[in-house]
A and B are shown apart, each in its own frame.
Chain A
Amino acid sequence: FFQDCILKSYFSKHEVLSDSSFRDLLQDELSKFSCKLLPGDPNPQLTLSGLERHLIGEGSHRHLSSTIQLQIPPQSFPLQSCKLVMIERLPSGVFADPFELDHLLHHGAYAAIGVFGDTNLELPSVSSNRSAVEIHMNFKHNTSSGAMSELGIRIDLPLHARYAPLHESGYSEVAFGTPDLLVSCSMEGSSEKRSCLIVPSSDSNRLRTDVVVWKIPCGIMSYTNVVSVVTFATALVSTLVIVLPSVLYSKPR
């Protein structure tokens, strides 16, 4: 189940991230798996009982924390092996550092994590395109109790703000959408008897959560002329402060 990376497949066909073309590709990819959304299926399935999103930290470097609440149905086998795939399509104005994500991977936080799209770390927002992060996480769940069980999974994604476009208020607001979530659980060691949960970000009914907004400080355009004039005036004064003593005191004493 989802051994391949969906975003890798998307960016091999597209240069720039577009929500509509990504949704189409996701639909195509999901249709390849036996786990389909089956309306009216009498067997209890994995369900998403809640999604909490928070932006933790201050300044230009923060963590986007997503806590996914799952309801896992009881099974005849004691141990379930589960996989969670989360695809976070980042808004314009923030980026994930691929080297930082590599660091997380080496620390064993996730089975796989990667950022795709515009991963340039230096350019401001106006010169950048969007990027997206795909996270694969494996976890095990003990379901011998015979009743539905609740499980909360927290994913922390370190993010950084790009230099924002100028705005008179002095702050630029970047709003995060909802992630695409895919979960599959099966008996440990077997891919049979699998239960799946697919919640694309377009499913606003199930993904009801407060919109997360990041306020990024930005330059104010009306200051442009004053800043330029004073900058060059200071450069001129500093030049004089250096040039005058050089001319006056360069002879040997």
Chain B
Amino acid sequence: MTARAMMNLRSILIGSAVFRLVLILYGEWQDAHMEVRYTDVDYLVFSDAASLMASGSSPYKRTTYRYSPLLAFLLIPNSFLHRAWGKFIFSASDLLVGYFIYKILKQRKVAEDLCLYSVMVWLLNPFTFTIGTRGNCEPIVCAMILWILICLLNGQIIQAAVWYGLVVHFRIYPIIYALPIIVVLDPRYVQLGKKPLLVNWKSNTQKPSSQSSEEASTRYNLWTAAKSMFSKERILFGLVSGGTFFLCTGLFFHLYKWEFLHEALLYHLTRADPRHNFSIYFYHIYLQYGHQLSLVEKLISFLPQSIVQLVLVSSFAQDLPFCFFLQTVAFVAFNKVITAQYFVWFFCLLPLILPWSDMKLRWEGLSCVGLWMGAQLHWLLWGYLLEFRGQNVFLQLWMASLVFLLANAAVMAVFIRRQRCSPIFLQMKVTDAKGGVKSE
């Protein structure tokens, strides 16, 4: 890293940190002086759970606390230090995500200015800076996901597996990344004890590489995958991540019994909230509430999500960040419940794929942003009329959620069409006197 680059990254990070500090202080003022709180109601739930834990009780005595006890543990200083401690932790994680984005892109030899723009796409995103400063814990999850990517890029399989087991325990949704990670841990590209060779970034003006036979095919071949499925790297990753997950789950089950299992795990797997949210399924769930759904109905709601996830993994697993991004957008869009905080799950991955996109900001990029934001604002308008004006606009709100799903799908299609899919790893030669193929 050159001194000039450090100064630019440093100034972006410092500026972002100062801005977040101001927002946290403003949030404390608004909470004390205005009717409407700045702080998210979830933060109050975490704080209450943390103070229960600090006094030796179960955090699950606090109704609607549906997270791992680890979160309450992290927020124990809220009780004796300052109630905004958690917000500082979350905002610090959000800054860490910015740093990790820079680190990942630099490791893949992306041009300096593109690295900094990509970092700014995360740090200057209004969703990003409000989510941490309002007291939402998602930035911690994002930081863990990016750290896992960094570990994989460096061939640190065991460390990646430990963090992966931990993040799945913490938030469950990262389980969707299991399959692409296993795919990418192909022994041709990643070997225990060796640092993998990375495919470097090429701008869209550079000629494509002629060494395509050495690069991993982005087409996931089911047959070759089945043959090398049980490599030691894959088995190790599976065992270590699974072991970490079950260790955490077992420990907290021992401490907090069925309440922990139900609130932190089973609730999320079976959640079907009839109250209005961005999901296309909310009205269907409300109209059917209390009725037992047939096996066919349950299967139908499960199928679109499963098919999309499998096809995305099969098509893009070798370009791991892009695969993660698409999978996350799809997972959120097809989920039975969608709240705005879930968007951060893919916003942290977006900067990692932008340097490989042929999309220009004007007008393709702005159209995607406009379509996605427009569909959201449209939904929010009907939501406002229902919730704050008491008008029966259920049908219109439900149709707005259909439009939102279609907008998400359309934006994904544009990204796919305009992405220069690039695998992250180069094939390593197993027997070579000089120690392997040189990277590009």
In whole angstroms, how far apart are the Cα atoms of A234 and B284 in the complex? 13
Q: Enumerate A167-196 residues with CB–CB distance to B below 8 Å.
A: 170-171
- Residue-wise, chain A 82-105 has the 8 Å CB interface mask toward B (1 for contact) of 000000000000000001000000
In whole angstroms, how far apart are the Cα atoms of A122 and B275 in the complex? 8
In whole angstroms, how far apart are the Cα atoms of A245 and B408 in the complex? 14
Q: Is residue A252 within 8 Å, beta carbon to beta carbon, of the partner chain?
A: yes
Contact A224 B420 (CB under 8 A): no
Stretch at the interface among B115-123, B175-183, B382-390: B382-390
Looking across the interface, which residue of chain A has its beta carbon closest to that of B37? A103
* B-side contacts of A252, CB under 8 Å: 208, 212, 215, 218, 420-423
Other than the given A236-B304, A239-B409, A242-B308, 20 more pairs (CB < 8 A) read: A60-B387, A121-B63, A121-B64, A122-B64, A127-B290, A163-B275, A163-B286, A217-B390, A217-B391, A217-B394, A219-B286, A234-B405, A235-B280, A238-B405, A242-B312, A242-B326, A242-B416, A246-B416, A250-B219, A253-B208
Q: Enumerate B208-237 residues with CB–CB distance to A below 8 Å.
A: 208, 212, 215, 218-219
Contact B283 A58 (CB under 8 A): no
* A-side contacts of B390, CB under 8 Å: 58-60, 215-217
Q: Which of A219, A232, A247 contacts B394 (CB 8 A)?
A: A219
| 15 pairs of residues in contact across A and B, judged by CB atoms under 8 Å | A59-B389, A59-B390, A126-B289, A127-B290, A219-B394, A228-B297, A235-B334, A237-B406, A238-B333, A243-B307, A246-B316, A250-B416, A251-B219, A252-B421, A253-B420
Q: Which of B218, B287, B326, B421 contacts A219 (CB 8 A)?
A: B287
Q: Which of B63, B287, B409, B421 contacts A224 (CB 8 A)?
A: B287
Chain B residues with a Cβ under 8 A of chain A: 41, 44, 63-64, 208, 212, 215, 218-219, 273-275, 280-281, 283-284, 286-290, 297, 300-301, 304, 307-308, 311-312, 315-316, 326, 330, 333-334, 386-395, 398, 402, 405-406, 408-410, 412-413, 416-417, 419-423
Q: Is residue A33 within 8 Å, beta carbon to beta carbon, of the partner chain?
A: no
Q: Is residue A211 within 8 Å, beta carbon to beta carbon, of the partner chain?
A: no
Contact A251 B281 (CB under 8 A): no
Contact A231 B44 (CB under 8 A): no
Contact A250 B316 (CB under 8 A): yes
* B-side contacts of A220, CB under 8 Å: 394
* A-side contacts of B64, CB under 8 Å: 121-122
Given that A234-B280, A245-B413, A249-B417 are contacting pairs, would A227 and B311 also be in contact in the complex, using a CB cutoff of 8 Å? no
Q: Which of B389, B395, B413, B419 contacts A241 (CB 8 A)?
A: B413
4 tightest A-B CB contacts, nearest first: A250-B315, A217-B392, A238-B409, A241-B409
Contact B315 A247 (CB under 8 A): yes
Looking across the interface, which residue of chain A has its beta carbon closest to that of B413? A245
Residue with the greatest number of chain B CB neighbours at <10 A, chosen from A171, A216, A232, A244: A232
A216 CB, min distance to chain B CBs, angstroms: 7
* A-side contacts of B280, CB under 8 Å: 231, 234-235
* B-side contacts of A170, CB under 8 Å: 392, 394
* A-side contacts of B288, CB under 8 Å: 224, 228
* B-side contacts of A217, CB under 8 Å: 386, 390-394
Q: Is residue A38 within 8 Å, beta carbon to beta carbon, of the partner chain?
A: no
* B-side contacts of A216, CB under 8 Å: 390
Contact A231 B284 (CB under 8 A): yes
In whole angstroms, how far apart are the Cα atoms of A121 and B63 in the complex? 9
* A-side contacts of B406, CB under 8 Å: 234, 237-238, 241
A60 CB, min distance to chain B CBs, angstroms: 5
In whole angstroms, how far apart are the Cα atoms of A121 and B275 in the complex? 11
B107 CB, min distance to chain A CBs, angstroms: 20
In whole angstroms, how far apart are the Cα atoms of A232 and B408 in the complex? 16
Contact B421 A242 (CB under 8 A): no
Q: Which of B274, B283, B311, B421 contacts A231 (CB 8 A)?
A: B283
Looking across the interface, which residue of chain B has its beta carbon closest to that of A160? B387
In whole angstroms, how far apart are the Cα atoms of A51 and B287 in the complex? 39
Q: Is residue A120 within 8 Å, beta carbon to beta carbon, of the partner chain?
A: yes
* B-side contacts of A230, CB under 8 Å: 402
In whole angstroms, how far apart are the Cα atoms of A54 and B312 in the complex? 55
A85 CB, min distance to chain B CBs, angstroms: 26
Q: Which of B284, B286, B307, B398 contacts A239 (CB 8 A)?
A: B307
Contact B283 A242 (CB under 8 A): no
Q: Which of A119, A171, A227, A242 contacts B330 (CB 8 A)?
A: A242
A162 CB, min distance to chain B CBs, angstroms: 9
Looking across the interface, which residue of chain A has its beta carbon closest to that of B282? A231
Q: Is residue A166 within 8 Å, beta carbon to beta carbon, of the partner chain?
A: yes
Contact A122 B273 (CB under 8 A): yes
A131 CB, min distance to chain B CBs, angstroms: 13
Q: Is residue A148 within 8 Å, beta carbon to beta carbon, of the partner chain?
A: no
* A-side contacts of B409, CB under 8 Å: 237-239, 241-242
Q: Is residue A61 within 8 Å, beta carbon to beta carbon, of the partner chain?
A: yes
* A-side contacts of B315, CB under 8 Å: 246-247, 250
Contact A120 B63 (CB under 8 A): yes
Given that A228-B284, A242-B330 are contacting pairs, would A247 and B405 also be in contact in the complex, using a CB cutoff of 8 Å? no
Q: Is residue A124 within 8 Å, beta carbon to beta carbon, of the partner chain?
A: yes
Looking across the interface, which residue of chain A has its beta carbon closest to that of B286? A219
B64 CB, min distance to chain A CBs, angstroms: 7
B236 CB, min distance to chain A CBs, angstroms: 28
Looking across the interface, which residue of chain A has its beta carbon closest to that of B398? A227
In whole angstroms, how far apart are the Cα atoms of A251 and B392 in the complex? 48
In whole angstroms, how far apart are the Cα atoms of A98 and B273 in the complex? 21
Q: Is residue A56 within 8 Å, beta carbon to beta carbon, of the partner chain?
A: no
In whole angstroms, how far apart are the Cα atoms of A121 and B307 in the complex? 35
Looking across the interface, which residue of chain B has its beta carbon closest to that of A229? B284
Q: Which of A122, A215, A232 contacts B300 (CB 8 A)?
A: A232
Q: Is residue A153 within 8 Å, beta carbon to beta carbon, of the partner chain?
A: no
* B-side contacts of A243, CB under 8 Å: 307-308, 311
B26 CB, min distance to chain A CBs, angstroms: 19
In whole angstroms, how far apart are the Cα atoms of A237 and B403 in the complex? 12
Looking across the interface, which residue of chain B has its beta carbon closest to that of A126? B290
* B-side contacts of A241, CB under 8 Å: 406, 409-410, 412-413
